[in-house]
């Protein structure tokens, strides 16, 4: 790669949380223009200037260096309007810009990929962790191997590594606090390890929060100021984007939605407490119920199969689908009553259930929350599981680069 170009491009100033170079995001205007562009999609210079609230001279001062550095490209001219005038060329993020390395750390494996600034995924790799009593050195080795393979595919040096962690994290220390299903990862200072090993800035966040960041940059939350992401599967989690800010809580402790209470004296949860939302709205619950009502192969039940079984008229399937949707809806209703995000992107297992599952959840939420005029609650289905997490992980780095106020 071109060293001089890289230096003037998105140079990193420290291996810690800050990825910012004065060259790229030195001005608030620049951040605002790039955010506006991201939210709108390909847009002409004139339109971008108008919508970002900057004048023509400012927009040229911002856009030209980014074109020179191949961060942005100009598309084919759009036909001029009836009144004549120069044909406008829409600006968008260049596929030649330096990519971001996205990583998903799960209890049993690591996944990595490259993500372009336009949200295209490539160079996907994964590496399992040893099943039998893994040591942290084994885990580190697997992460190194996987990351090195992905980075080797990059034509230009990546801007940084963003990690979605399927467990509790300390976003300030860039460390894993605890992963219930993989205690070997507890206390793992992954951010430091990645920076030391690969010389790239690295950022970590909780998996559901990364999903929301991915939605905000590349998905259904693009351009929105307030919404929530809810993930269900083996575990349950979520994240909130409120008034233009990702709500993390102290050191990233917020968003443990799975462990909010929905049932006093309910079932025991993986966290050791009773009655958490996670005990009634995850796959563990669904499998137990499927077994109880005699559904075939209850251990292989998930939303997609449940929807198919209900469609085929399997005994009890329609009722189970409705109860599962209601259990997911219960926690969403609480969230709606507490902070009213009004727009929810559903992730994880329920994505497989498609529109039928989303509609069932929406119906129950609406029944559980008093209606108010102008307070329409809507739902969208997120990307498929790994893709959503990897885009989100990359989005963490992007947010930092664009000085997006998360
Ligand atoms: Zn719990």
Distance CA 293, CA 285 (A): 13
User: Could you tell me the distance, in angstroms and rounded to a whole number, from the CA of residue 255 to the centre of ligand 1?
Assistant: 12
Q: What is the pLDDT of residue 168?
A: 85
Q: How far, in Å, from the CA of 82 to the mean position of ligand 1? A: 62
**DSSP secondary structure code for residue 6 in this structure:** H
- Please choose, from the candidates 193, 232, 37, the residue with its C-alpha nearest in 3D space to the C-alpha of residue 110: 193
Predicted confidence band at 403 (pLDDT cuts at 50, 70, 90)? low
Q: Report the distance separating Cα 210 and Cα 165, nearest Å.
A: 8
Is the per-residue pLDDT at 277 higher than 70? yes
C-alpha 49 – ligand 1 centre gap (Å): 48
- Compute, in angstroms, the gap from residue 105 CA to the centroid of ligand 1: 21
pLDDT tens for 101-116 read 999 999 999 999 999 9
CA distances from 44 to 63, 92, 209, 217 (A): 11, 9, 32, 19
Cα 235 to ligand 1 centre (Å) = 9
In this prediction, residue 2 carries a pLDDT of 43
What local confidence, expressed as pLDDT, does residue 315 receive?
A: 95
The confidence band for 273, taking pLDDT boundaries of 50, 70 and 90, is: very high
Percent of the chain topping pLDDT 90: 61
Average pLDDT over residues 165-187: 89
| Cα 326 to ligand 1 centroid, rounded to whole Å | 19
Find residue 230's DSSP bridge partners.
238, 346
Q: How many angstroms separate the alpha carbon of residue 331 from the centre of ligand 1?
A: 13
Q: What's the confidence (pLDDT) of residue 1?
A: 40
Q: How far is the CA of 270 from the centre of ligand 1 (A)?
A: 6
Average pLDDT estimate for 67-74: 86
Calculate how far, in angstroms, residue 328's C-alpha sits from the geometric centre of ligand 1. Answer: 15
* CA 177 to ligand 1 center in whole angstroms: 16
- Report the C-alpha gap between 212 and 250 in whole angstroms: 18
What is the C-alpha separation between 129 and 138, in angstroms, rounded?
7
Residue 256 has pLDDT above 70, yes or no: yes
What is the whole-number distance in angstroms between the Cα of residue 269 and the centre of ligand 1? Answer: 5
Given a contact cutoff of 8 angstroms between Cβ atoms, the answer to whether 128 and 146 are in contact is: no
Could you give the C-alpha distances from 218 to 201, 202, 226, in angstroms and in order?
Answer: 21, 20, 16
Query: Does 11 score more than 60 pLDDT?
Result: no
Identify the pLDDT of residue 79: 67
On the question of pLDDT at 187 being above 90, the answer is: yes
- 377 close to 366: Cβ distance less than 8 angstroms: yes
| pLDDT band (50, 70, 90) for residue 27 | low
* Distance from residue 236's CA to the centre of ligand 1 (Å): 9
* pLDDT surpasses 70 at 99: yes
How far apart are the CA of 110 and the centre of ligand 1, in A? 24
So what's the pLDDT on residue 10?
A: 40
**In 3D, which of 235, 242, 191 has the Cα closest to residue 216?**
242
Instruction: Of 170-174, 211-215, 321-325, give the lowest mean pLDDT range.
Output: 170-174
- With a cut of 90, say whether residue 41 has pLDDT above it: no
Span 371-398, average pLDDT: 90
Alpha-carbon distance 306 to 350, whole Å?
Answer: 10
228-246 average pLDDT score: 92
Task: Evaluate whether 221 touches 379 at the Cβ level (below 8 Å).
Answer: no
Give the distance (Å) from ligand 1 centre to CA of residue 118: 37
Q: Decide which of 194 and 66 is more confident.
A: 194
Average confidence (pLDDT) over 76-84: 67
What separation in Å is there between the alpha carbon of 276 and the centre of ligand 1?
A: 5
Distance 267 CA to ligand 1 centre (A): 10
* pLDDT for 398: 86
> Per the confidence metrics, is the pTM higher than 0.75?
yes
Q: How many CB atoms lie within 10 A of CB 265?
A: 7
- How much distance in Å is there from the Cα of 187 to the middle of ligand 1? 20
Distance 283 CA to ligand 1 centre (A): 14
| CB contact at 8 A, 139 and 185 | yes
Is a pLDDT exceeding 60 seen at residue 17? Answer: no
The winner for highest mean pLDDT among 37-41, 52-56, 388-392 is 388-392
Distance 50 CA to ligand 1 centre (A): 48
pLDDT in tens, 297-315: 999 999 999 999 999 999 9
pLDDT of residue 86: 67
Region 210-234 average pLDDT: 93
Share the mean pLDDT of the chain: 88
In this prediction, residue 159 carries a pLDDT of 92
Residues 6 or more apart whose CB falls under 8 angstroms from that of 90 comprise 42, 43, 44, 74, 75, 78
Residue 9 has a pLDDT of 40
Share of the chain above pLDDT 70, in %: 90
Give the rounded distance of the alpha carbon of 365 from its chain centre: 23
> From ligand 1's centre to the CA of 266, what distance in Å?
11
């Amino acid at each position: 790669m071109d060293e001089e170009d890289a230096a003037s491009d998105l140079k990193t100033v420290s291996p810690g949380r800050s990825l910012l170079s004065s060259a790229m995001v030195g001005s608030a205007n620049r951040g605002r223009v790039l955010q506006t562009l991201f939210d709108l999609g390909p847009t002409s210079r004139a339109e971008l200037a108008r919508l970002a609230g900057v004048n023509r001279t400012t927009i040229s001062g911002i856009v030209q260096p980014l074109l020179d550095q191949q961060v942005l490209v100009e598309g084919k001219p759009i036909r001029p309007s009836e009144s004549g005038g120069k044909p406008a060329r829409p600006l968008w993020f260049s596929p030649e810009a330096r990519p971001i390395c996205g990583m998903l750390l799960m209890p049993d494996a690591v996944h990595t990929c490259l993500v372009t600034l336009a949200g295209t995924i490539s160079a996907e790799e994964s590496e399992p962790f040893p099943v039998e009593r893994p040591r942290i050195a084994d885990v580190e080795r697997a992460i190194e191997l996987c990351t090195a393979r992905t980075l080797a595919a990059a034509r230009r040096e990546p801007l940084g590594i963003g990690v979605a962690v399927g467990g509790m994290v300390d976003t300030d220390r860039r460390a894993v606090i605890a992963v219930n299903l993989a205690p070997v990862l507890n206390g793992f200072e992954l951010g430091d390890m990645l920076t030391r090993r690969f010389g790239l800035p690295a950022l970590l966040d909780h998996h559901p929060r990364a999903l929301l960041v991915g939605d905000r940059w590349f998905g259904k939350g693009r351009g929105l100021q307030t919404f929530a992401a809810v993930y269900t599967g083996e575990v349950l989690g979520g994240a909130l984007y409120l008034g233009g800010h990702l709500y993390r809580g102290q050191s990233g402790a917020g968003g443990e939605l799975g462990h909010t209470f929905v049932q006093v004296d309910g079932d025991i949860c993986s966290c050791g407490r009773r009655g958490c939302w996670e005990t009634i709205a995850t796959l563990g619950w669904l499998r137990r119920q499927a077994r109880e009502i005699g559904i075939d192969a209850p251990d292989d039940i998930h939303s997609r199969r449940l929807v198919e079984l209900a469609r085929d008229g399997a005994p009890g399937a329609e009722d189970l689908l409705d109860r599962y949707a209601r259990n997911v809806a219960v926690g969403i209703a609480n969230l709606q009553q507490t902070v009213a995000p009004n727009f929810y992107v559903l992730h994880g297992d329920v994505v497989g259930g498609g529109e039928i599952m989303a509609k069932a959840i929406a119906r129950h939420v609406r029944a559980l929350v008093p209606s108010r005029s102008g307070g329409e609650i809507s739902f969208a289905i997120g990307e498929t599981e790994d893709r959503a997490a990897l885009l989100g992980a990359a989005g963490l780095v992007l947010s930092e680069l664009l000085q997006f106020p998360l």
